[in-house]
Structure 1
Amino acid sequence: MARRALILVEGTGSNGPLYVKASRRLGLEPIILLADLSQYKSLAAESIDAIRVDTDNLDAMIRECSRLRAIHDIVGITSAEESFYATASKLCQHFELPGPNAVSIERCCDKVIQRQLLAGAGVPIPAYRVAANATDVERSAAEIGLPVIVKPAVGTGSCGVRLCRNVDELAEHTTYLLGGTHIWLSLPKQRRWQSSPRILVEQFAQGPHYYAHAIGYEVIGIGAADFGPPPYFVCRELTFPAPLTNDEHRRFADVSLSCLRALDLGWGPTCIEFRWTKLGPVVIEVNPRLSGAPDPQLVQLAYGIDLIAEHIKLVIGDEWDLRKRHSHIAAARYLNPDCDGTLHWIDGDSRAASVSGVAEVKLYVEPETQIDRKGDNRDHVARVIAASPSRAQTEAALQRATDLIGWSITPFPTADSDKQCPCFGQGKVADGLQ
C-alpha cells in the first residue's frame, strides 16, 4: 500500500525544512518539487524525494503531479514560499484537494491590489500612490508629504524597502530601485519583471510594530516587532505574545478579521502587520501565508501550537486544533553588524545555547565571510530564541545569551584609508574575553 505523501512546491526559505520535519512527524512522506536541485544538497543526506520540474510552468507541474499520483497516495499539496503559494493553490484546485483560493492569494501578493481591496472595505491603511518612474515617485511623495516609505509593489523580507525622510534620500532610493541593481519580483514566482516595475510610495505610519497570526478566520495571537535604526527596516527583536491590554488585543483582532474578509483569505494561514498609531492600528501589509522562521517557533514555545503542523493537517483534510496548551513568553533577538567588511571570526554560540531558557542559537555566517549589508533581513549574522513563563525571565535569558556571542569585522578599505581598524560585535567575546 502506497504511503501517504505531501507535495511541497519549492521551499528554500526558512520554513521549508520545518514543513519537511512536520510532515514526517504526521506520518507523511514529503516530496519536494523544485526548479534547481543544487539548492537542496542537504536533501540527499536526509533521504527526501526531490524532483526537478519547472515550478513556474503550471502545465509542467500538473503533468508531474499526475505522474506522482499514479505511484503515490498524494493527500495534499502546499508550499512554504509566498512566491509559489498561488501555484500550489492552483494544483490543489486542479486535483480537487483542499487549498486556498488561488485568485485571492495572487491579489494579496500584489501590494497595489491588496491596498485597493483593503481601502474599499474601510480597513485603515497608510495613504499611498503607485509610481512607475522617478517623476511619479517625486510627485507622489510631494502629495503625501515626507517622510514616506518607498518599496516595490511585489516582494518579501523588506527587500527594497526604505524610509525616505528628505528629497535626497528619495532620489537616492529611487535611483537604486530603477537603476538595475534591485531585482524586481513578479508573480507567481520570484524572477525579474518582464514589464515596467511598479513602486509604492506610502505615508509613514509612525508607532510600534505588531503582527497577527491567523488560520482561517481565527486570530491565534498578536506579536511585537522591533527594528534597527532607519532608514531601513532590519528586524532586531520579535516578542510573542505582545504586551497588550484586552482592548488593544480586541482592536487588532477586529481589524485582522476585516482584512481577511476584504481579501477573501478565510482558508489557511495569514500574517498581518500593523503599526499602532495615534489613531489606533493601521495595516501595513497582509501576507497570505505563514510568517517565516522564527515566528512558528515562537508561537509553539509561547502557546504550544505548532502552526506548520496544523497548516499541514488543514491541507490534507485532517482535523486541526489551535487550542493553547500553555501561556509563556517567547522572543527572538537578531544580531546585526554595524559595518561592512570581512568577518574574521564569530563564536560564543555554544555557550549561549547553554543559558537556561534559551531554545535556539543560530549563526547565519561563517568566518571569512564578506559582509555587505543590504538593509533588509539578509543582514542578520546570528539569532537567539528564548522562552519562559515570564517576560522578565525571557528578556534576561536573551540578554545573557547575546552577551556571549561576538565577532570581528575588518571594514573594506575606503578612498580615505587603505587600512581600517576592526569593528567588533556585541558581547564578552568581542571585548576580548575568549
Structure 2
Amino acid sequence: MATSAIILLEGHRSIGLPYVKAARRLGLHPITMSADPTQYDYLAAEGTAVIHVDTEDLDALIRECSRLYATYDIAGITCLYESFYATVGKLCRHFDLPGPNPASIERCCDKFAQRQLLAEAGIPIPAYRVATSATEVERSAAEIGLPVILKPAVGSGSMGVRLCRNVDELAKHTTYLLRGKQIWLSSPSILVEEFTQGPFYSAEIMGHEVIAIGAADFGPPPHFVFNECIFPAPLTDVEYARIAELSLSCLRALDLGWGPTNIEFRWTTRGPVVIEVNPRLAGGTTPQRFQLACGVDLITEHIKLVIGEEWDLGKRHSYTAVTRYLLPDRDGILDRIGGDSRAAAVPGVAEVKLYVEPKTAVIRNGDYRDAIGYVIAASPDLAQTQAILQRAVDLIDWSITPFPTPDEQEQSAAPYFSAPTQVP
C-alpha cells in the first residue's frame, strides 16, 4: 500500500515546522516543494522530504506532482503563504483534490480588486484609490485627505505599509514603493487608503465558520508592527456578533469559504470597518495562541480539511492567550540579549523565543521582521495573562549600539561591515 503524503507548496518561517509535525502525527509523509529550500532551516533539521522546483511554474509543479503519484498516495496539497494559494487551488483541481477556488483567491490577493468587490457588496471599508505614479498618488491623497496609508497592491506582513501624515512623507514613501527594489511580489500599483482609526480586531475563519476573534495593538507609527496580540478579543456579545456577521458577508462578496480565512478590522465611530481579507491561516504565533486559549490545534484541523477528513473545531477550554513581541527602538549592532530562560520559568508563560544573537545587525524594516523575539502567556483571564507577560518581559534585556553616522565612519580608520538582518 502506497504511503500517504501531503505536499506543502513552499515552507514558512514561523508555522512551517508545526505543519510538518502535525502532518506526521496524522500519519502523513510531508513533502515540501520550494524554489529555495535553504530559506527554511527546519527542513534540513527535521530531515523533511524536499523537492527543488520553480514554484511559480504551474507546469513544472504538475510534472513533479505527477511523478510523486507513482510512489505516493497524494492525500492533499496546500501552502502557508497566500501568494501561492491560488496555485494550490489549480493543482488541487488538476489532481481532483479538495482545495480553494483559484479565481477567488487571485481576486482576493489583489488588494484593489478585493476592495472593489467589498464596496460593491456594501461592506464598510476605508476610502481608497489605486495609483501607478507619484502624480496619481498625490492626487489620490488629496481626494481622500491626509493622513493616508500607502501600501503595495499585492503583499503581506505589513511590508511596504506606511502611514503618511504630510506631503513630505507621502512623496518619500511613494518613491520607495515605485523604485522597484522591494522584496514583496507586486505590480507597481500602490493602494492609497484612508487612515481608519480605532481598536484592531481579526477574525479567524475555517470554511464558513468564525472560530475566534482576536485583538492586537501596534508599535509607534508610521509603521504597523504588532506589539501585542490577544485571543480571544475582549468584546461584548453584540460586538462579537457584528464582527462575525460582517466576516461572513466578506466571504460571500469574495466567493471564499473553503479553508482558512483571516479578516482584519478597525472598530470606528461607525462600527467595524474591514481593513483586509487574507485567504489563509494567520501566521506568526496565531495558531499557538488559539491552541492555548481554546485547546484546538488549528494547523492539524486545517490539514484534516486539506486531505478530506472530518475536522473538529470544538473548544476544549476557555483561556486568554497573549503574545508580546520584543521590538527594538533603534537600528544597530545587538551587543547582548538575555534573560529568556528566566522569563520562560515564570508560571503561565508558554514560550519565549529570541530570533537574534549577540553581534547581529538589527535593522528595522517597519514590518513583521522588526521583532527580535516574543513571549507568549496564557491564564484564565486577560488581566492575569498581561501581568504574567509583563513579569516575563521585564526579565529580558538587550543592548544595541547604534550604527556609526557617516561622519563617524569617515573618522574611523577601520572599515565597517554590517551583518545581515535576522528574519523571524
The residue aligned with 1:78 is: 78
Question: Following superposition of structure 1 onto structure 2, how do residues 50-199 of structure 1 map, counting pairs within 5 Å?
Answer: 50-186=50-186, 193=187, 197-199=188-190
Following TM superposition, by how much is the alpha carbon of 1:416 offset from its aligned partner in structure 2, in angstroms? Answer: 6.0
Alpha-carbon distance between aligned partners in 2 of 1:136 and 1:183, rounded to the nearest angstrom: 23
Q: Matched residue of 1:67: which SS? A: helix
Q: Deviations over 1:329-368 (max 9, x none)?
A: 0000001011111111111111111110011111011111
Alpha-carbon distance between aligned partners in 1 of 2:119 and 2:41, rounded to the nearest angstrom: 44
Q: Deviations over 1:364-422 (max 9, x none)?
A: 11111111111111100110000011112211110011001111100011246569xxx
Question: Following superposition of structure 1 onto structure 2, how do residues 351-362 of structure 1 map, counting pairs within 5 Å?
Answer: 351-362=342-353
Following TM superposition, by how much is the alpha carbon of 1:31 offset from its aligned partner in structure 2, in angstroms? Answer: 0.7
The residue aligned with 1:322 is: 313
TM-score, normalization: structure 2?
0.95
Q: Matched residue of 1:250: which SS? A: helix
Contact persistence 2:354–2:374 (CA under 8 A): yes
Q: Matched residue of 1:291: which SS? A: coil
Following TM superposition, by how much is the alpha carbon of 1:48 offset from its aligned partner in structure 2, in angstroms? Answer: 1.1
2:119 is aligned with what amino acid?
A: A
Contact persistence 2:17–2:42 (CA under 8 A): no
Alpha-carbon distance between aligned partners in 2 of 1:284 and 1:214, rounded to the nearest angstrom: 16
Question: Mind listing any 5+ residue stretches in structure 1 that lack a counterpart?
Answer: 187-192, 420-434
Contact persistence 1:13–1:81 (CA under 8 A): no
Following TM superposition, by how much is the alpha carbon of 1:175 offset from its aligned partner in structure 2, in angstroms? Answer: 1.4
1:286 and 2:292 aligned: no
2:345 is aligned with what amino acid?
A: S
The residue aligned with 1:230 is: 221
TM-score, normalization: structure 1?
0.92
The residue aligned with 2:35 is: 35
Question: Following superposition of structure 1 onto structure 2, how do residues 184-263 of structure 1 map, counting pairs within 5 Å?
Answer: 184-186=184-186, 193=187, 197-263=188-254
Contact persistence 1:13–1:292 (CA under 8 A): no
The residue aligned with 1:47 is: 47
Alpha-carbon distance between aligned partners in 2 of 1:148 and 1:253, rounded to the nearest angstrom: 27
Q: Matched residue of 2:284: which SS? A: coil
Alpha-carbon distance between aligned partners in 2 of 1:184 and 1:317, rounded to the nearest angstrom: 32
Alpha-carbon distance between aligned partners in 2 of 1:130 and 1:43, rounded to the nearest angstrom: 39
How many residues in Structure 1 have an aligned counterpart in Structure 2? Answer: 411
Question: Percent identity, aligned pairs only?
Answer: 70
Contact persistence 1:55–1:61 (CA under 8 A): yes
Alpha-carbon distance between aligned partners in 2 of 1:53 and 1:283, rounded to the nearest angstrom: 36
Q: Matched residue of 1:55: which SS? A: coil
Alpha-carbon distance between aligned partners in 1 of 2:371 and 2:94, rounded to the nearest angstrom: 39
Contact persistence 1:148–1:201 (CA under 8 A): yes
Q: Matched residue of 2:116: which SS? A: helix
Contact persistence 2:53–2:61 (CA under 8 A): yes
Alpha-carbon distance between aligned partners in 1 of 2:265 and 2:18, rounded to the nearest angstrom: 26
The residue aligned with 1:307 is: 298
Contact persistence 2:88–2:100 (CA under 8 A): no
Contact persistence 1:34–1:54 (CA under 8 A): yes
Q: Matched residue of 2:21: which SS? A: helix
1:376 is aligned with what amino acid?
A: D
Q: Matched residue of 1:323: which SS? A: coil
Q: Matched residue of 1:224: which SS? A: strand
Following TM superposition, by how much is the alpha carbon of 1:178 offset from its aligned partner in structure 2, in angstroms? Answer: 1.5
Q: Deviations over 1:60-108 (max 9, x none)?
A: 1001001101100111000011111111111111000000101111110
Q: Deviations over 1:255-302 (max 9, x none)?
A: 000001111111100000000000000000000000002001111110
Alpha-carbon distance between aligned partners in 2 of 1:351 and 1:105, rounded to the nearest angstrom: 44
Following TM superposition, by how much is the alpha carbon of 1:41 offset from its aligned partner in structure 2, in angstroms? Answer: 4.8
1:253 is aligned with what amino acid?
A: A
Q: Matched residue of 2:202: which SS? A: strand
The residue aligned with 2:5 is: 5
Q: Deviations over 1:163-209 (max 9, x none)?
A: 011111111111111234433414xxxxxx4xxx1000000111011
The residue aligned with 2:399 is: 408
In the TM superposition, structure 1's runs of 4+ consecutive aligned residues that sit over 3 Å from their partners are: 415-419
Q: Matched residue of 1:114: which SS? A: helix
Decide which of 362, 365, 387 is 2:378's aligned counterpart.
387
Following TM superposition, by how much is the alpha carbon of 1:3 offset from its aligned partner in structure 2, in angstroms? Answer: 1.8
The residue aligned with 1:370 is: 361
Following TM superposition, by how much is the alpha carbon of 1:45 offset from its aligned partner in structure 2, in angstroms? Answer: 3.5
2:161 is aligned with what amino acid?
A: V
RMSD of aligned C-alpha atoms? 1.4
1:397 and 2:397 aligned: no
